[in-house]
Amino acid sequence: MTLQTIRLVFFSGTGGVKRIAAAFEQAFINCGLTVIWHDLDRSRMNQRKLQPGAEAAPADLTLLLFPLHAFDAPDPVYDWIHQNRFEGQTFAVISASGGGEAWPNTGCRNKCIRLLEEKGARVVYERMLCLPSNWVFAVSDDAAAWLLKAIPHKASLIVDDLAAGKTRRTAGKMSPARAFVTRLEKSGARQFSQEISVDQNCSGCGLCAAHCPVENIALENRRPVFHDHCVMCFRCIYACPSHAMHSSNFMVLKTGYDLNAVEKHMQSADLQPIEQCCKGWLWVGIREYLLNDEK
């Protein structure tokens, strides 16, 4: 397979996957390839959603990139798959998570790949990349800095594989128990925003409504109003400039989530060794990911 044009399709919640997409774009460009950018974010503030003519433009390879959601792909990815046909098209599917390619994340791409193949696609490559966790368990700033630094290198390794015509499919499967949890979590996610409280610090700036990637928030009388198609990305909570949004849900990090702030804070810091800052069974996936170029 000779590559000349790549379609880069991705969904990003709190910004980590968008960083990965930008790293892939640069790696493809460094190989002399043309990249068509297709961001599934529907927010009003997204200035680079889809390049003109991108839907109709032919591509030699489509790279589909998404963050792990309930051991699966998020709904906007499935919406895009259901709205299109892919006869004869070649795909690479890349997921991103805070835990790496370890249980319970194995099998997270299966349904997505199955639907692509049912619609005529040929999926030749799949892999997991790691990001600092944005839910339940926060990594240390040192671990987050290592993960951010690794993004361009990991993207380049995958691009080298694809340019060389290498194929990579994994045998991971999602158990019936995890599939059941996935259905429950995805159903609950659509109502998640109904549980968000907005305190008196809200300035009515409207950034939450403007930045929501699925247009689930409206501004009425300078107050956010939430609808019923949330994807539980936490973007509105973490990005509120007034820190006025709150959730008692255990999955939301009480310390917030700001990759730009971590990167700036750790820019000149002497980072702890990977084995030290990623110590323990909880971080075995990202420890192996950082220490092994094949992960």
pLDDT in tens, 196-244: 999 999 999 999 999 999 999 999 999 999 999 999 999 999 999 999 9
Q: How far is CA 284 from CA 270, 279, 290, in A?
A: 22, 7, 10
Counting Cβ atoms within 10 Å, is residue 262 exposed (0-12), middle (13-18) or buried (19+)? buried
Q: Quick check: 40 pLDDT over 90?
A: yes
C-alpha to C-alpha distance for 274 and 289, rounded to whole angstroms? 10
Q: Just give the CATH number of 190-246.
A: 3.30.70.20
Peptide bond into 241 cis (omega under 30): no
pLDDT in tens, 11-33: 999 999 999 999 999 999 999 99
pLDDT in tens, 72-83: 999 999 999 999
5-163 and 190-246 have identical folds: no
Q: How far is CA 52 from CA 37, 49, 56, 73, 272, in A?
A: 10, 10, 9, 26, 45
- Whether the CB-CB separation of 215 and 43 falls below 8 Å is answered with yes
- Torsion angles phi and psi, residue 7, rounded to 5: -100, 120
Instruction: Please compute Rg for the chain using Cα positions.
Output: 19
pLDDT in tens, 92-145: 999 999 998 877 788 889 999 999 999 999 999 999 999 999 999 999 999 999
Nearest to 157 by CA among 67, 110, 201, 92: 92
The vertex-23 CA angle with 17 and 28, nearest 5°, equals: 125
Give the predicted TM-score (pTM) of the model.
Answer: 0.94
Work out the number of other CB atoms within 10 angstroms of the CB of residue 77. 24
Taking domain 5-163, whether its CATH number is 3.40.50.360 is answered by yes
Q: Quick check: 51 pLDDT over 80?
A: no
The vertex-268 CA angle with 263 and 269, nearest 5°, equals: 90
Domain residue ranges of the chain, discontinuous segments joined by +: 5-163, 190-246
